[in-house]
Structure 1
């Protein structure tokens, strides 16, 4: 596979390009960076030695493509080529393509297995799509790609085969779907094209695919000829049916009931005073109106401090903003689902966008102080989103503005102003940033009415996660309403009443009481045991990644903890956590659950999740390498600290159990048990209280399933990690777009592995649970119970839905459905049965 080297004057720019390129190629392409010089006062520049080392770092006989930004980068690269071995230099090509676009296109082509010449050609043609979309003339050199006026005419040759697909992706075939297409079809020995709008382009060229401008609803045809045409079409078909690895509809349980509205609401006033707009978050709210207005802190009028100092101010502010965004993502994930926390992850991506960073850098070089440069850039960027014809893109303007306000507050020292209220209110505003929404207290903000936004806006999503009724898109509400006047909000229908009549107010109160009662009943039911219709009890537990998760798990109805990911204690540190700190944390988690069972998984880490203090080494395929229990057995000193802490914690907390991950053989299990026993004896000898816990193992690899009967004789329970088991059974990396259609725990082969494991567990008289994502899917609950699974452990937010699915299940019919599903031949048949 061709490798890539990025040569730039700016380390920050190169880092951003590297991140984008790695994302486009799913990390499959080796990329090295040679950027900047070792001079703290003047870091901008290039170094021939650094370029030489970068080329040698990623050198491959298939070739190395070097992309440079300008000037001395070319000279430094020429010097580097003179310093390396002549045979290696012959396989290195220096490309004149634009750095950012060229690097992304080259990486996609390299990941698809193209030759050095083809990869270079793709890089050269990187700007053709942009020029075409901007309706400007481009005269760029090209090797592998085609200029817009050189596209081949449509052909109807008999040897060609075709597959047609109506694109359902909301934003059409943009960069990520195009990248997935290139990756899916490029390895086949066939000529493969895509047709749309009367044009035909190569399916191996991400730039050419972009030229098609495929939008939602368009018919996209894949045409292939050659030795492996059939296989290529099948790969495209599988990818298309998976919507090119994108979600085309909301799956969050709180948002699925709300229609996605892509047009601006037509606000209307009825005779009874009712105002209608877009219902964004269900519920009834009755409270006085309170107007809220967030403003961008004003840029200070001050002297220019020089590029170095101004850049340092920006770097410091953006770094602090990124830290806050990471904390918000974590906090929001604890309150709602991962989709809400991803909003703040997206904000981090906006802030680190290479083009934005490069623009602010250029403005600072023009002797503009950072506050003025930043405010102008944010206003211009947000306005560009507002001017879009797409409502979805218009909604993103508020995200840009939110990021801008956050950084500006740090630059000016104003920071975020707290939202302080003395009584419950209905908040009325032009719009709310996601940050502002996340800081709202549902006890004080009973409802939200916004002039702008839609049901897909991030503020609407966050309002739903907080359970605050909300109506958006109600133009003019800030001028029509007065602070203090009573308002009624019906979030499900998008209705608002200002100063309602006594009759309307009374009806709203009845609706509110009914809604609150239903919600209360649901919460009360979530705390009840999950039993099937015929009285079979099923343990519904939570997966935890921190001590803080324990409280949320209990509040949402967890009957125990099926998985504590102990890695959180080991990450982001330059040394392993002490035995005492681990002991205290394990005790705190176990004690927080009272007498409910708590299963702590020992350190599950590998080459894909490196720790600086472990000698892990670089692995060609870390998922098949030294990870989990294997790694712990090779780092006994660190493993002993954890085992000692667990044994001591078990002496204090009788509900604590221990589970070993990534077990494949009896030898591994015996080594782990022997080490645990030796730790126990050593603690006993030292007079330190210690108790042997119940021991279980994760069933994650096919070898463990094959050895399940023997392994079951040595442990107290099995827990099936369906995420890893699926990728190992299907030989399909979860992060590889080309095989993502295989990665489903509902694959017949995976289901048979689960059934085989459950049977072995029951024969040995031990329990079997599931702690992968599969456990939290109510569609699969009945089948899993029919296979004999005793316990399900999941993200706390999914507990209520799974408990309801258990209560709707009857054991006999569950067994019948399980047998029917186990007899299915394809994933499609399984899903149809479910």
Structure 2
């Protein structure tokens, strides 16, 4: 395979070109860089020795193509060739092609296995596409003597095979998809062409493909001829059905085969008028569309009143905002759960942040009126969140804007925009702030459709707690929908019909009636045990964070607690809670459940949940950094306080159990157990009542799955945290909208991880439960039972529905059928089977 050397005066330029080329070819070819000189004060230049070493580093008998930027780079390369062994130098070609475009084209051609001559030709033609698409002319070297700037047309002979595809990629067939096509078809002994807009070009040339100018919605035909035409065409079909290795909003293959031209900026539709996005909250909604638009109040143009008066205005507005936030937190706790209400506690923390308050104070002292100072500060703070490397933190910019809008409304006298409705509606908006969502009346807002957001956004969480069906991430819906038109929304599957037919409306009404009836039946039996048709009982537990939630869970049929999120006790303060206060809290929750098991997860901080008094430091990727048990083992003083409180609480409450989060290795587990044992011995030595609890671990990283057999020998139970396990298995941040299509616990890879963990638990004779969002999804209950899961722990408001799903399942049949699910190769196949 031909190798590439980049010679440039600028190290930064060369690194950038190298990065682009590597991304295009996925590291398939050898690329070396010789750029700059070893002089910190004057680093711009070229060095013949560095060029020679770069060529030797990637040398291959198939050849080395050297791309240079200008002037002395050519001289340095000539000198380097003289220094090389003559046999090596004969296989090195210095190309006059433009550095960036030439390198991209050359690398794709090299990765496709083309010869040095062909790779060089591709590099020389790199600018043809740019000139043609810009409708400019230039005398550039052509290919095989053809006129530059013209499409490289080829005609087929003999029998041809063809496949037509409607391109769904948002940006059409640009560089990366074109590169993928070249790589897919080049290995085969066949002539392969692409045809679009009446032009036919070689599918082995990235430049020729670019000349086609294929855009989203265009029909692209692949034509093949030769000994391996069938294989080449199939390679293109497989690539096309994967959308040329790019993600798109609607991965429905059958819809792609249908010629449905879609204008740019519009929502793509299926043949039946269905729109698909992210299901955020289950339920069926049928109602007229209502557009909800909100904006930040404008700062008034007025004179500066002096620091004292301006500060008083801010103090008054922020105080009123804090009172409203406290009321919202209380109302949300009553409607949903305590952990959901903590969203507004977090908003209060944003508003009272000392750095923010000090900054606004300083701005007021600089003779800036409070409305202007506040609007500028909020914009700067939100932008800081949006520029974060963490997609979850980027999403929190919406929380900052929400706080800013609340205070700005009080400063300007505009107040909050009222949500006044005369009839039930489906609310359609670009996005909803948590405050907006919490103020919605489920009796009037039957459904929510948002252009932005993901299933883990605060608005989605609150919609679930309010029981409002919701779909998020449906780009362009504001422009595509009209107020007053009746729409159908299916929150569980993320489906929307803006112009439903009479048949669709009737079907939706039946589904809605059935959904409501099933909900009522489930609630009527929620206090009963969850036993399968063939007599197997599944324990249904609750996830919670406080004493208030414990009482709600009991009332909703929880048979224990699978996860107490102890981190909520640690948040909202600049110092850790005392051992005594923790002891009292753990005892209160455990006593609420009598003799039913209560599993308390030790402090799980890091990633999106920082604490000021624990040394976390700045991390480029906090989700892969020091979090969970890792962080606790580095902050032993804080960890010991919690372990002491848990050991004392276990002496008083026999149902209390302890679980360590984010365990990846046996060493981590052994360290945690050693620390727990040393705390126990110290308490015993001091005469303080303490009892060792049952110990379990969270399985939420792939390493724990791989180590499951060894870990199972050291603990009493496993609890699979499917939220984190999914994002780590799929390498997809669950707060990132762009990869939300990957973040499903029903992905085949995740299901196999769960099955592998359950098998290790069975072999060791320990119990295995699920405590992620997956546990509360009735569609997945049968599969989990089939894999041998014995405990399901979820948000209290999902208990009734999951119990009903258990009662409708025959465990022996589930065990047999889950094997077919585990053999599925795609998420779509899994969901069809379920």
Shift of 1:767: 1.0
5 Å-filtered alignment, 1:292-441, equals 302-303=302-303, 335=335, 406-412=406-412, 415-416=415-416, 438=437
Shift of 1:531: 1.6
Q: 2:285 aligns with which of 242, 258, 274?
A: 258
Q: Which residue of 2 aligns with 1:751?
A: 751
Shift of 1:833: 2.9
**SS state of the match for residue 812, structure 1?**
helix
**Higher deviation after alignment, 733-742 or 743-752:** 733-742
Q: 1:244 aligns with which of 248, 261, 266?
A: 248
* Partner deviation per Cα, 1:711-740 (whole Å, 9 max, x = no partner): 323322111223443455556666789987
Q: Which residue of 1 aligns with 2:565?
A: 565
Shift of 1:576: 3.4
* Partner deviation per Cα, 1:546-579 (whole Å, 9 max, x = no partner): 5554455445443322122333344565443332
Mapped contact 1:628–1:661 kept (Cα < 8 A): yes
Name stretches of at least 5 consecutive residues in structure 2 with no aligned partner. Answer: 1-10, 19-38, 47-97, 105-126, 137-148, 186-192, 225-231, 252-274, 352-363, 376-398, 453-458, 471-481, 486-496, 500-511
Shift of 1:771: 1.8
**SS state of the match for residue 531, structure 1?**
coil
Shift of 1:814: 0.6
5 Å-filtered alignment, 1:17-36, equals none
Shift of 1:808: 1.2
Mapped contact 2:720–2:770 kept (Cα < 8 A): yes
* Partner deviation per Cα, 1:633-681 (whole Å, 9 max, x = no partner): 2332222111112112223333321101233343332322221111112
**Higher deviation after alignment, 549-558 or 754-763:** 549-558
Mapped contact 2:288–2:425 kept (Cα < 8 A): no
Q: Which residue of 1 aligns with 2:690?
A: 690
Mapped contact 1:719–1:769 kept (Cα < 8 A): yes
Shift of 1:793: 1.8
* Partner deviation per Cα, 1:686-705 (whole Å, 9 max, x = no partner): 23332222111122344433
Indicate whether 1:802 and 2:802 are aligned: yes
Mapped contact 1:255–1:464 kept (Cα < 8 A): yes
**SS state of the match for residue 86, structure 1?**
coil
Q: Which residue of 1 aligns with 2:816?
A: 816
**SS state of the match for residue 705, structure 1?**
helix
**Higher deviation after alignment, 783-792 or 152-161:** 152-161
Q: Which residue of 1 aligns with 2:661?
A: 661
Residue-pair matches, total: 595
Q: Which residue of 1 aligns with 2:89?
A: none
Q: Distance in 2 between matches of 1:301 and 1:735?
A: 38
| Structure number with larger C-alpha Rg | 2
Q: Which residue of 1 aligns with 2:40?
A: 85
Q: Which residue of 2 aligns with 1:673?
A: 673
Mapped contact 1:165–1:240 kept (Cα < 8 A): no
Q: Which residue of 2 aligns with 1:18?
A: none
Shift of 1:683: 1.7
Q: Which residue of 2 aligns with 1:578?
A: 578
* Partner deviation per Cα, 1:387-419 (whole Å, 9 max, x = no partner): xxxxxxxxxxxx999999745532135745999
**Higher deviation after alignment, 298-307 or 742-751:** 298-307
Q: Distance in 2 between matches of 1:318 and 1:117?
A: 53
Classify 1:467/1:218 alpha carbon distance in 2 versus 1 (closer, same or farther; 3 Å): farther
5 Å-filtered alignment, 1:474-493, equals none
Mapped contact 2:726–2:743 kept (Cα < 8 A): yes
5 Å-filtered alignment, 1:525-674, equals 525-545=525-545, 549-571=549-571, 573-606=573-606, 610-616=610-616, 623=623, 625-674=625-674
Classify 1:734/1:258 alpha carbon distance in 2 versus 1 (closer, same or farther; 3 Å): closer
Classify 1:786/1:87 alpha carbon distance in 2 versus 1 (closer, same or farther; 3 Å): farther
**SS state of the match for residue 533, structure 1?**
coil
Classify 1:61/1:555 alpha carbon distance in 2 versus 1 (closer, same or farther; 3 Å): farther
Shift of 1:432: 11
5 Å-filtered alignment, 1:166-185, equals 173=170
Mapped contact 1:821–1:833 kept (Cα < 8 A): yes
Q: Distance in 2 between matches of 1:614 and 1:88?
A: 42
Shift of 1:599: 1.3
Mapped contact 2:786–2:811 kept (Cα < 8 A): yes
TM-score (norm: length of structure 2):
0.53
Classify 1:238/1:632 alpha carbon distance in 2 versus 1 (closer, same or farther; 3 Å): farther
Q: Distance in 1 between matches of 2:309 and 2:155?
A: 67
Q: Distance in 2 between matches of 1:787 and 1:331?
A: 39
Q: Distance in 2 between matches of 1:519 and 1:634?
A: 46
Q: Which residue of 2 aligns with 1:278?
A: 288
Mapped contact 1:700–1:721 kept (Cα < 8 A): yes
* Partner deviation per Cα, 1:192-239 (whole Å, 9 max, x = no partner): 999999999x9999xx99x9985xx77689999xxx999999677436
Classify 1:318/1:791 alpha carbon distance in 2 versus 1 (closer, same or farther; 3 Å): same
Q: Distance in 1 between matches of 2:756 and 2:184?
A: 43
Q: Which residue of 1 aligns with 2:704?
A: 704
5 Å-filtered alignment, 1:696-775, equals 696-729=696-729, 744-775=744-775
Mapped contact 2:167–2:215 kept (Cα < 8 A): no
**SS state of the match for residue 276, structure 2?**
coil
Q: Distance in 2 between matches of 1:341 and 1:222?
A: 55
Mapped contact 2:605–2:628 kept (Cα < 8 A): yes
Q: Distance in 2 between matches of 1:315 and 1:404?
A: 14
Q: Distance in 2 between matches of 1:310 and 1:456?
A: 37
Q: Distance in 1 between matches of 2:746 and 2:547?
A: 32
**SS state of the match for residue 709, structure 2?**
helix
* Structural RMSD (CA): 7.0
TM-score (norm: length of structure 1):
0.53
**SS state of the match for residue 785, structure 1?**
helix
Indicate whether 1:62 and 2:15 are aligned: yes
Classify 1:710/1:90 alpha carbon distance in 2 versus 1 (closer, same or farther; 3 Å): same
Mapped contact 1:538–1:791 kept (Cα < 8 A): yes
Mapped contact 1:278–1:493 kept (Cα < 8 A): no
Q: Distance in 2 between matches of 1:646 and 1:153?
A: 76
Q: Distance in 1 between matches of 2:717 and 2:792?
A: 13
Name stretches of at least 5 consecutive residues in structure 1 with no aligned partner. Answer: 1-57, 66-83, 92-114, 122-141, 260-276, 282-293, 352-363, 376-398, 476-491, 495-511
5 Å-filtered alignment, 1:154-173, equals 173=170
Classify 1:630/1:198 alpha carbon distance in 2 versus 1 (closer, same or farther; 3 Å): farther
Q: Which residue of 2 aligns with 1:380?
A: none
Mapped contact 1:696–1:718 kept (Cα < 8 A): yes
**SS state of the match for residue 541, structure 1?**
strand
Classify 1:602/1:446 alpha carbon distance in 2 versus 1 (closer, same or farther; 3 Å): closer
Q: Distance in 2 between matches of 1:525 and 1:628?
A: 37
**SS state of the match for residue 643, structure 1?**
helix
Mapped contact 1:245–1:740 kept (Cα < 8 A): no
Mapped contact 2:222–2:236 kept (Cα < 8 A): no
**SS state of the match for residue 536, structure 1?**
coil
Shift of 1:831: 3.9
Q: Distance in 2 between matches of 1:212 and 1:330?
A: 54
Q: Distance in 2 between matches of 1:691 and 1:144?
A: 74
Q: Distance in 2 between matches of 1:612 and 1:832?
A: 46
Classify 1:639/1:550 alpha carbon distance in 2 versus 1 (closer, same or farther; 3 Å): same
**SS state of the match for residue 15, structure 2?**
coil
Mapped contact 2:290–2:428 kept (Cα < 8 A): no
Q: Which residue of 2 aligns with 1:286?
A: none
**SS state of the match for residue 658, structure 1?**
strand
